[in-house]
A and B are shown apart, each in its own frame.
Chain A
Amino acid sequence: MVEMENSSPMTVSTTSGGEASVSSSGNQIQAIQQPVSIAAPKKKRNLPGMPDPEAEVIALSPKTLMATNRFVCEICSKGFQRDQNLQLHRRGHNLPWKLKQRTSKEVRKKVYVCPEPSCVHNSPARALGDLTGIKKHFCRKHGEKKWKCERCSKKYAVQSDWKAHMKTCGTKEYKCDCGSLFSRRDSFITHRAFCDALAEETARSHTTAIANADTVKSGVVTSPPPPPITPSSSVLSPGLSIQSAEMPENPMRLSPPSAAAAISTTTTVATTPNSSISSTGVLAGIFASSTTLKPCHTPPPPTSSYTDMICALARSDYPSAAIEPTSLSLASSLYLSTNCSSLFPAPDQVHHRYNPSAQPAMSATALLQKAAEMGAAASSPALLRGFGLAVSSSSSPCQDTDMKLQNKAAAGFGLGLPSGDVMMGQSSLLGSKPTTLDLLGLGIGGGGGGSSTSGLSALLSSFGGGGFNVGAAAAAAYGGGRGTSPGESWEGGPDRKPHGPTMF
C-alpha cells in the first residue's frame, strides 16, 4: 500500500485490490483505504452522503455507473475498470503508455450523485464521495439482481457482494438463547418463534417496562406499553458466539459520556488495517453526529435517529419502542465487524423520521445474519449494551449493571483490537459453552450421552403408557365387537406374544 506523488511514470505501483478512489478524470493514483503517506495530509473522512461542501459534484449517467470495463485495449479488446490498469496492460503490447498523475497539489474533492431521481442520493447534499461507492450503490439499489446464491437463493446486483456472500453462506451457525444450534436459517427462525426463551424474556421485560412507562418516548406509548422485545437470538460464526444481549428494559438513551467513550474506542477500531474500515469510520461519525444532535433531551429522543441510522425495523405506524431494543443491540454488533458494505445506505440518514425508501428494511434476524456474514462479529453482550443501551436516567434500576457493562465495553474494545481483527477473546466474554446439538432446546446439558439416554427413557415410558392403553382399549373394542365367529377364541393371542403389548 504505497502512496504515489511523484511524476515519473515508471515508478508506479499498483494498488492492491482495495478500492481506490479515482476521480473521473483519472489523474491521480492514490490508495485511499490505508492511512495516507507521510507527504499528503491525512484524508478527512466525511459521513457517507454528507459531502464536503467544497467538493465538486459530478453526475454520471446510469450507463457509466453500470459499466464495468470502460477502458478497452485496442489490440486485444480486453476491458479494464481504470485507465491506469489499461495503461499498464498496454505496456505488455509494447504500446506507448502513459500514466497521468495529479496535476495540482490541491485537487478538488469530487462527489457523486445518483442519477435515479427518487433516490436520496440524487441530491448533491447527499452525494457520495467515492466513485466505486456510487457505482455499487446504484447497482445495488437500482440495478437488476443478476447474481444468485445457490444455497439460499439470495440475490445480489453487485458481483462482489455475491462473492462475499458465497464465502459465508452455509458456513455460519445460528444459536438461540435456549442453547440450540442451527445450521439452517429457516429452521432457526421457526424454532425461535416458538422457543420458550422468547416467552420468558418478554414476560420478564414486561413488568419492568410498565414500571418505566414514564420514560417511554412520547408518541409511542400505547397503554399498556408493548414490552420491548429483547433480542435473544444470536449468530454463531465459527469459533465465536455472541451471547444475546440482556437489555435493560427502559428505552434507550445515548448518554453522551458513554457514547463518547464508545466513540473514542471506535475510532481506534477505524484505523486498524482491515478491510472496509469505512464501516467503523462511519460508525464513529454516527456517534459523533448523534451526540452533537442531542445531548440528552426528550422528544424526539436520541433513540429514534440512532435507530434510524442503524436501519431499525421501526415503521412510522408502529410503536417503535418495541422494535428499537432489538435492532439497536443487534445492529451495534454489526458495526464491529468488517465490510458492512451492503448495510451502509442506512446510516446515511441522520434525520429523525423513518424514511422507508432509503434504507433496506432489515429485521433483527437479517441484521444478525449480516453480522455473521461479515465474519468477525465479535461483540459481547456487554459491548452491545455499552453501545446503545446505556441509560442516562438515574431512575433506571439497572444502572449499576450498565456502568459495569460500559466499562466492560471499553475494555472489550481494547481487548479485541490489537490483534488486528475485530475479535474478542473468546474466553473472557462467552458464557457457558454451547450444548451439544440440543436441537430441541431441551437443555440436556450432559452432552451426547445425556440426550440419548433421555430419548431412550422417553421411548421406554411411552412403551409402557401408550402401548398398554391402546391394547386395553382395543381389547375392549374387540370384546364388544366380537360377533363374526363365535366359535373361535382369540384370547390365546396376547398371551402367546413373547414381546411387548399388542394391538389386541
Chain B
Amino acid sequence: FTPKDTSIHYYPSKHQSINGQILNMQSNTNRPQSSHTSTSWSSDSGEPCGTGNKWAPRLLKECARAISEKDSSKIHHLLWMLNELASPYGDFDQKLAAYFLQALFCKTTESGQRCFKTLTSVAEKSHSFDSARKLILKFQEVSPWTTFGHVASNGAILEALDGESKLHIIDISNTLCTQWPTLLEALATRTDETPHLKLTVVVTANIVRSVMKEIGQRMEKFARLMGVPFEFRVISVLNHLGELTKEGLGIQEDEAIAVNCIGALRRVEVEERGAVIQMFQSLRPKIVTIVEEEADFSSSRHDFVKCFEECLRFYTLYFEMLEESFVHTSNERLMLERECSRNIVRVLACDDINEGECERRERGSHWCERLKEAYSQVRFSDDVVDDVKALLKRYRTGWALVLPQGDDHHSSGIYLTWKEEPVVWASAWKP
C-alpha cells in the first residue's frame, strides 16, 4: 500500500484538512474495511471541520487496538498516517502522535529494546552536569511536579528525626540531590543543635550516575556553607535494588535512618517490588518516604490496549503540564519530552527483562497495599501540609493538594493534582 493512491499532500498544520484527508483516505482505499474502522472513521464526518484537534489520541488508540488485534493492514495504514501527521516539534497533537507513534512502531516491529537503547545512548551523549542541572532546576522553577514530593518528604523526615544527632538518609532517587539543600538549610536553622547528616544516594538510572561526583562536591560545599556536618556517598544500583544491605550502605548503629524513595519503586520489576519493600525494613529506618507518579502501567501490563490507554492518558496530562509551564521555545521542555518518549517506548514496547529502568508506575493506592504489609502509615503533620500548600501557591494556578478521602485503609499520603487530576502521590511510613 503506497500513498500514491491519493494525490493529496498532507500539511498537518491545518487540522481541517486532516479530517478531510481522513475521509478521502477512507473512500479511496481498497483495503478490507472492518466494521470497526468504518464506524470510527465515519464518526469523523459528523464533526465540524473546525475542531481539528484531538486527532492524535483517536488515531493512536485505533492503532493500539489494531496492534492488539494483529490487523496488519490496518496497523500499517494507521502507522503511515500517524507518521505523516506527527512531529516532535509541532503542536500538541503532533508531539503526542510522534512520541507514541515511535512506541507503536517499535511494538509492531519488535524493536523496542534496540530503540530504547539507542535513545538512551543518544541522551547520555548530550548529558552533562550543566545540562542536567539546568534541566532539573528549570523544571522545579516552573512546576511543583518534583518539589511537591521534596517538601512533603523533607517535612516528614525532619519531624521523624527531630532530636537525633546523627542522621543518615538513604536517598534512592534520581533527583540529583535537589531535594537536599532546603533540608540542610532547615537543619541549620530550625534545630538548636545542628545534627550530623550523612547522605547516601542510591542511583538507579545510568544517565544520572555520571554527574553524581560533581553533584556530591556541590552538596559538600553547600553543607559547609550551611554549617551542617556532612558526609556524602553515592552507590549505583541499576538492578536488583532488593539486594542492598545495611553494610553495603554503610549504616552505623548509632545513626537514625531515613529512607527516601522518589520515583524509584516504579523502576523495580513488578515481581520484585515486595522484596525491595522488605529490604527497606532490614535497614531499620525511623521513617520511609515514598513519592511516585500517579498512573497504572503495572496491573495492565499484560493487556496492551489498556496499558496503552493509561499511558496515553498520563502522558497527555504530563505533556499538557509541560506545555503550560514552560515557554514555547523551551529547550528544557523538549528534553523532558524526550525523556518521556524513552519511557513510553520502555513501557509499551519492551519486555520486562531484568535490566532495570522498568518505569511501570502504580497508583498510590496500590503502593499503599504493598507498603501496609510491612509498615504503618505516618500522617503528614499539619505543618507539613501547610508547607506544601504554601509551595503550591508559589506556582501558577492549576495545582492543588488533595488529602485522601476519609480514613479508609485504602490510601494514605497526599496527592498533587493538576487541573484536578491526581498526578503525584507522596507518603510516609514507619516500621
Contacts and interface: CB of A to CB of B under 8 A. Distances in A.
B82 to A, nearest CB: 9
A168 to B, nearest CB: 15
Contact of B1 (A317, A488, A503): A488
A467 to B, nearest CB: 7
A425 interface: no
B181 interface: yes
Interface in A438-488: 439-440, 452, 455-456, 458-459, 462-463, 465-467, 469-470, 473-474, 476-478, 480-485, 488
B141 A187 contact: yes
B105 A504 contact: yes
A323 interface: yes
B334 A363 contact: no
A107 interface: no
B97 to A, nearest CB: 10
A153 B138 contact: no
A458 B80 contact: no
B137 A190 contact: yes
A117 interface: no
Interface stretch (B83-91, B243-251, B416-424): B83-91
Contacts of A465: 126
Interface in A396-455: 439-440, 452, 455
Given A152-B390, A469-B122, A484-B109, A229 B224 contact: yes
A44 interface: no
A434 to B, nearest CB: 17
A467 B119 CA distance: 11
Nearest to A313: B227
B201 interface: no
A357 B118 contact: no
B229 A317 contact: yes
A440 B134 contact: yes
A363 B189 contact: yes
Contact of A488 (B76, B84, B184, B192): B76
A493 B188 CA distance: 60
Interface stretch (B50-58, B215-223, B281-289): B215-223
Describe B's contact surface by its main secondary structure: helix
Contact of A363 (B11, B83, B88, B227): B227
Contacts of A202: 221
Contacts of B72: 484-485
Nearest to A195: B218
B331 A318 contact: no
Nearest to B12: A499
A25 interface: no
A194 B126 CA distance: 20
A498 B9 contact: yes
Nearest to A463: B89
Contacts of A503: 83, 86, 88, 98, 101-102, 105
A186 B334 CA distance: 25
A229 B225 contact: yes
Given A313-B194, A481-B109, A500 B221 contact: no
A499 B14 CA distance: 14
Nearest to A497: B84
A318 B224 CA distance: 10
B43 to A, nearest CB: 27
Nearest to A489: B2
Given A193-B218, A363-B226, A474-B115, A356 B192 contact: yes
A229 B9 CA distance: 64
B224 A322 contact: yes
Nearest to B387: A153
A239 interface: no
B330 interface: yes
A326 interface: yes
Interface string A31-66: 000000000000000000000000000000000000
Contacts of A483: 109
Chain A interface bracket (under 10, 10 to 19, 20 to 34, 35 or more): 35 or more
A361 B390 contact: no
Interface string B1-33: 111000001110000000000000000000000
B393 interface: yes
A498 B11 contact: yes
A186 B189 CA distance: 14
B262 to A, nearest CB: 15
Contact of A357 (B138, B192, B327): B192
Given A186-B182, A463-B89, A466-B338, A455 B330 contact: yes
A187 B181 CA distance: 10
B105 A478 contact: yes
A469 B180 CA distance: 35
Nearest to B390: A153
Nearest to B395: A184
B236 interface: no
Contact of B83 (A152, A485, A493): A493
A314 B229 CA distance: 11
Contact of A481 (B110, B138, B394): B110
A191 interface: yes
B39 interface: no
Given A150-B390, A318-B229, A473 B137 contact: no
B391 interface: yes
B181 A192 contact: yes
Contacts of A500: 87, 89
B161 to A, nearest CB: 16
Given A193-B181, A315-B227, A364-B226, A492 B126 contact: no
B222 A198 contact: yes
Nearest to A227: B224
Given A473-B118, A478-B109, A480-B114, A190 B226 contact: no
Interface string B387-405: 1001101100000000000
A151 to B, nearest CB: 6
Interface in A146-191: 148, 150-153, 155, 183-184, 186-187, 189-191
Nearest to A170: B394
B181 A189 contact: yes
A34 to B, nearest CB: 34
Interface in B89-108: 89-90, 98, 101-102, 105-106, 108
A496 interface: yes
A67 B393 CA distance: 35
A226 interface: yes
Given A186-B391, A439-B141, A503-B105, A481 B118 contact: no
A249 to B, nearest CB: 15
A323 B228 CA distance: 10
Contacts of A155: 383
Contact of B185 (A187, A189, A322, A357): A189
B133 interface: yes
Contacts of A21: none
A151 B84 CA distance: 49
Contact of B224 (A151, A226, A462): A226
B416 to A, nearest CB: 16
Given A366-B189, A492-B3, 16 more contacts: A153-B390, A183-B394, A186-B182, A194-B218, A198-B221, A361-B189, A363-B189, A439-B141, A452-B329, A459-B331, A477-B111, A478-B111, A499-B90, A502-B86, A502-B87, A504-B83
19 contacts: A150-B390, A190-B178, A190-B181, A193-B177, A193-B180, A193-B181, A194-B137, A317-B229, A356-B192, A361-B192, A366-B185, A366-B189, A439-B141, A474-B118, A477-B109, A496-B10, A497-B83, A502-B86, A504-B83
Interface of A: 148, 150-153, 155, 183-184, 186-187, 189-194, 198-199, 202, 226, 229, 231, 312-315, 317-318, 322-323, 326-327, 356-357, 361-366, 439-440, 452, 455-456, 458-459, 462-463, 465-467, 469-470, 473-474, 476-478, 480-485, 488-490, 492-493, 496-500, 502-504
